[in-house]
Structure formats: structure tokens, C-alpha cells
């Protein structure tokens, strides 16, 4: 029973390592382990961690030789740590540090078929810094003694709304299109004296107002209805005056 448990735990750990590990095809998808690919540029754009795998794919006439730093610089493979010639080589990165690989075929290393990598642990891998937010406006902080709340910048006061009716010009008083007609003078005649003049026996005296009325009547026949109306009013005025005099 304990042996079965240990085997299951080992198998689960292996699966976890495989799930977390990243496989890197040397040279990238558009390159390979050959003299036409810039291996240094490709390696500088990758981040290798412990548990990842390097996959070398190459044609016959090439090999993969892991060497020391000195042999890497001098392109010497006579003292290689390990040499692979299968055409498809998987090299696990089991520990942190730098490792060096070249092709031992004559002239290939000098032509650029060499690779230097640096394996990192997960804890030492570079992490992306979080994005910084733009700074806000100035905020005055309270002193420890007062303990007052911070004072935010005050917003500008809104101007009071203007009544659109107050801006309209005052309406002038309406002008009567029809001018007022002059008041007609009263046709009534005011007597100058209330005393009755002396009358001689047998003599008929016609009052001046009656004579004026008769002359007005004769002219009213020529002037039409307005003149006749004035004559009638004058006659009635004379009668009222005579009644008051008696």
C-alpha cells in the first residue's frame, strides 16, 4: 500500500512538471539549429526556467555538443561535455545557470551555429511591473494634531441663471392709432342776464336767440341732417332758458 502511494505521488509530480514546463524549439518556428539562424538573437528574446526543455532539430551533418565557456568562445569541441547526433535532441534544463552548445562540424560554430542560455529559477524570473495610474490633483492632508478631514480643491461656483425675460426690452405702451377727436363745443347759449326786457303794448318783440334759431333753421335746410340736429338742440336750449327766466 505505501509503495503504491509513493508511485502515485511520483507520477503526479512528473505530470505536474510536464504541465508547467515549457518546450523551446531552438531557433524558433521560423528557424532551427543551422547556420542560417541567428541563435544569439533568438536566445536573448526567451526566458528559460528550471524545468523547461530545449529541443534541437537538425539535419545530418550537424550535431549538438555541450561545452564549457572557454571551448564555446574558441569553438572547440575536443573536450565536449556531451555530444548528440540523433537529429532531434531534447535537453532538459534541470538546474539554474548558464550552459553552452555548439556544432562540432568544422566551420559551423564559427558560422554562428552556437548557443548560450541562462536558466533561471521561478522566483528569480523577471516580473512585469504593474501599471501606474496618473497622479491626482493636490490634496491637503491634515496635521496629526487637528485630525481634520483632508480638504479637496473646491469646484468653481456655478453662476446664477439669468432670467431670459429680464433681458427682453420693455414693451412700450400701445399708441392709440386713432387720435382722440376734439370735444365738440356745447351749442347751448348762456344768457347774459335773467331779467325780462320791457315790452311795449301792441309790439311783438322777437328774442335774439329765437331770431338766431330761425336763421339757423333756414341754413339747416341747406346743410342737411347734422345742421338740422344742431338747430333742434339750439331751440330746446332757448326754451329751457326762457322757462328758467319766467
Rounded mean pLDDT, 199-218:
48
Which pLDDT score is estimated for 20?
Answer: 67
3-state SS of the chain: helix, strand, coil percent to 5? 30, 15, 55
Cβ(81)–Cβ(66) under 8 Å? yes
SS3 state at 242 = helix
| Closest-CA residue to 92 (of 48, 40, 123) | 48
Q: Read off the C-alpha cell for 19.
A: 504541465
Which pLDDT score is estimated for 213?
Answer: 45
pLDDT band at 217 (very low <50, low <70, confident <90, very high): very low
Which pLDDT score is estimated for 243?
Answer: 75
Alpha helix (H) ranges present in 21-143? 39-44, 69-74
First to last CA, the chain: 161
pLDDT digits (tens, 9 = 90+) for 98-143: 999 999 999 999 999 999 999 999 887 665 544 444 555 554 554 5
pLDDT digits (tens, 9 = 90+) for 59-107: 999 999 999 999 999 999 999 999 999 999 999 999 999 999 999 999 9
Range from 21-35, 129-143, 148-162, 218-232 that averages highest in pLDDT: 21-35
Amino acid at each position: 500500500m505505501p509503495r503504491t502511494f509513493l508511485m502515485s505521488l511520483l507520477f503526479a509530480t512528473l505530470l505536474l512538471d510536464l504541465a508547467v514546463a515549457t518546450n523551446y524549439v531552438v531557433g524558433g518556428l521560423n528557424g532551427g539549429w543551422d547556420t542560417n539562424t541567428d541563435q544569439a538573437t533568438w536566445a536573448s528574446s526567451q526566458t528559460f526556467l528550471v524545468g523547461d526543455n530545449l529541443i534541437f532539430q537538425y539535419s545530418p551533418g550537424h550535431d549538438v555538443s555541450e561545452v564549457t565557456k572557454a571551448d564555446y568562445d574558441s569553438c572547440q569541441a575536443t573536450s565536449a561535455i556531451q555530444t548528440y547526433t540523433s537529429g532531434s535532441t531534447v535537453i532538459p534544463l534541470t538546474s539554474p545557470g548558464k550552459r553552452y552548445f555548439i556544432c562540432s562540424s568544422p566551420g559551423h560554430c564559427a558560422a554562428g551555429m552556437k548557443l548560450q542560455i541562462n536558466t533561471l529559477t521561478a522566483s528569480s524570473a523577471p516580473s512585469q511591473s504593474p501599471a501606474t495610474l496618473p497622479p491626482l490633483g493636490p490634496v491637503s492632508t491634515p496635521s496629526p494634531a487637528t485630525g481634520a478631514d483632508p480638504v479637496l480643491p473646491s469646484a468653481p461656483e456655478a453662476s446664477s441663471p439669468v432670467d431670459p425675460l429680464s433681458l427682453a426690452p420693455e414693451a412700450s405702451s400701445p399708441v392709440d392709432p386713432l387720435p382722440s377727436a376734439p370735444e365738440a363745443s356745447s351749442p347751448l347759449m348762456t344768457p347774459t342776464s335773467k331779467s325780462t326786457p320791457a315790452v311795449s303794448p301792441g309790439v311783438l318783440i322777437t328774442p335774439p336767440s329765437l331770431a338766431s334759431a330761425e336763421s339757423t333753421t333756414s341754413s339747416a335746410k341747406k346743410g342737411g341732417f347734422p345742421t338740422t340736429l344742431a338747430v333742434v338742440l339750439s331751440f330746446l336750449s332757448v326754451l329751457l332758458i326762457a322757462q328758467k327766466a319766467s
